[in-house]
Amino acid sequence: MQLCKSTTIFFFILFGFSNPSFSQAFIQDSTDIHIYGDFRFRFEQDWNSETSTGNERNDRVRARVRGRIGIKIRTNKVFEFEARLRSGNKNSQQSPHVTIVDFSNNSTGEKDVVFDKYNFKLSRNNFWLWGGRNELPIWKQNELLWDDDVTIMGGALGFRNFFLGKKDNLSFNSGYALLPDGIIENSGEIEFAQLVYSRNVNDATLFVAGGLLAMQGGDNTVTNLFSGNDSRDYVIWIGNLQLNTKKSAIPLSLGFDFLYNSKSYSDSDLVGTPIGTDKDDTEGYVFQTRLGNLKKKGNWLIGYSFADIETLAVNASYAQDDWMRWGSATQTRASDFKGHEIRVGTVLPLKWKMLFRFYFVESKNNSEDGNRLRIDFNRKF
């Protein structure tokens, strides 16, 4: 509370005293309250999967749901407070999904409702600052580095769409936070910074981004994290390219990501990693293409992605949990793999969106592999 109060006073002094219209707006403007949420029904099938030791996993078919509801309270176009509840097991930082039926008679797991976001935000023109628990505020085009559902406890600041000229913009994101161990507890720290440049040319937009995620491990007293991610450090450099064009009747997007962990490891740092991991397994890249979009009824989307992610290129406890079933009921080991994603989606009546996703992956170091189908029905409100 003291941090919130001090930050508010700082920004009021910084912008208010030097700008009378700002001070007047701060006092007179009304409060805006926005309630939002989403629901997902998912059918999921995993088949033809082996463990790292070559043993076959049983095929699995599940029906799952996700529910989230939040509130945003904004005053004076400057200050905003947000809080959100989500479903899912409280011991998972990567997934808010609840299994309602397991057709293979496996356990359906815990069914918790927890706060995954609660934060304040101050913004003025292009500049912003927030504190609390929130999503990692970096520009990204997929979840291979960082899962959208993983939220961090800390603070961040930056500027967005800083005008460089008629066709050029620049954004900056930075911050410091505690890393989650499940959705309630924390372990370890993260510092991050990123620059994002965009250029509009005719009917095309080019994005170029570069940044750094530095993570420090915790004190080995975690409840949920594994694979050494409770204590291992990471220094991950990220580079992104994306080109979006509307020259044809169907929008086209092309993207490329490169990941490099510059942290030097000893053999002891490999404790908990998959069989066959080398201390130099620190690079990853992703290529993706999307044709179409899902903005309104009748729209279609077709997409393809190829990913090659070495074991230590990302922190597997915070990366995506879509591509494979490797790990435990609450933790996904989302690294040491190469594979493909194919997606097909459309917008149904009543603003429901249907998305088919097929995944085919294999380990880079051992016999672990797997295939997955997901069919999602999503609705925002």
How confident is the model over 129-174, as pLDDT tens digits?
A: 999 999 999 999 999 999 999 999 999 999 988 878 778 999 999 9
Tokens of 141: 């085009």
- Find the mean pLDDT for residues 304-314: 98
Residue 217: phi and psi, rounded to 5, are -70, 165
CA dist., res. 155 & res. 176, Å (int) = 6
- Alpha-carbon distances of 5 from 2, 13, 55, 231, rounded to whole Å: 5, 12, 57, 34
Task: In whole angstroms, give the CA distance from residue 24 to residue 5.
Answer: 19
pLDDT at 163: 74
Q: For 83-117, how does the pLDDT look when each residue is reduced to its tens digit (9 = 90+)? A: 999 999 999 999 999 999 999 888 888 999 999 99
Of the candidate ranges 75-79, 133-137, 369-373, the one whose mean pLDDT is the lowest: 75-79
Q: For the chain, give the percent of residues with pLDDT over 70.
A: 91
Lowest mean per-residue pLDDT among 139-143, 319-323, 327-331: 327-331
- Structure-derived torsion over alpha carbons of residues 240, 241, 244, 245, reported in degrees to the nearest 10: 180
CA atoms of 327 and 3, how far apart (whole Å): 38
The distance in angstroms from the start CA to the end CA of the chain is: 31
Output the CA angle 231-264-274, nearest 5 degrees.
60
**What average pLDDT does range 248-272 have in this prediction?**
93
Flag whether pLDDT at 60 surpasses 80. yes
What CA–CA distance (Å, rounded) separates 107 from 36? 31
Q: In CATH, what number does 2-380 get? A: 2.40.160.10
- 260 pLDDT band, cuts 50/70/90, is very high
H helix count then E strand count, the chain: 2, 17
Which pLDDT tens digit goes with each residue over 184-205? 999 999 999 999 999 998 889 9
CB atoms within 10 A of CB 29: 13
236, 255, 368: which is closest to 307 by C-alpha?
A: 255
Average pLDDT over residues 118-122: 97
H or E stretch covering 105: none
Q: Which of 206-210, 272-276, 282-286 has the lowest mean pLDDT?
A: 272-276
List CB contacts of 262: < 8 A, sequence separation 6 or more.
235, 236, 237, 282
Q: Which residue has the higher pLDDT, 106 or 260?
A: 260
Cα–Cα dist 131/221, whole Å: 25
Over residues 291-302, the mean pLDDT reads: 94
pLDDT at 251: 93
The pLDDT of residue 6 is above 50:
no
Cα separation, 221 vs 37, whole angstroms: 34
Task: Give the pLDDT band (50/70/90) at residue 20.
Answer: very low
User: How far, in Å, CA of 81 to CA of 85, rounded?
Assistant: 14
Dihedral sign, Cα of residue 267, residue 268, residue 274, residue 279: negative
DSSP conformation class of 203 = T
CA 117 – CA 134 distance, rounded (Å): 5
Type of residue found at 110: E
Q: Indicate whether 229 pLDDT > 90.
A: no
pLDDT confidence of residue 29: 53
Element (H, E) at 186: strand 185-201
**Residue in 300, 335, 299 with CA at minimum distance from that of residue 317:** 335
Residue 30 binned pLDDT confidence (cut-offs 50, 70, 90): low
Domain map of the chain by residue range? 2-380
DSSP one-letter string for 274-337: PTT--TT--EEEEEEEEEE--SSTT-EEEEEEEEEE-TTTS-TTTS-SSS---B-SS-B---SE
- Measured in residues, the chain has a length of 381
Query: Measuring CA to CA, which residue among 238, 159, 160, 246 is closest to residue 200?
Result: 246
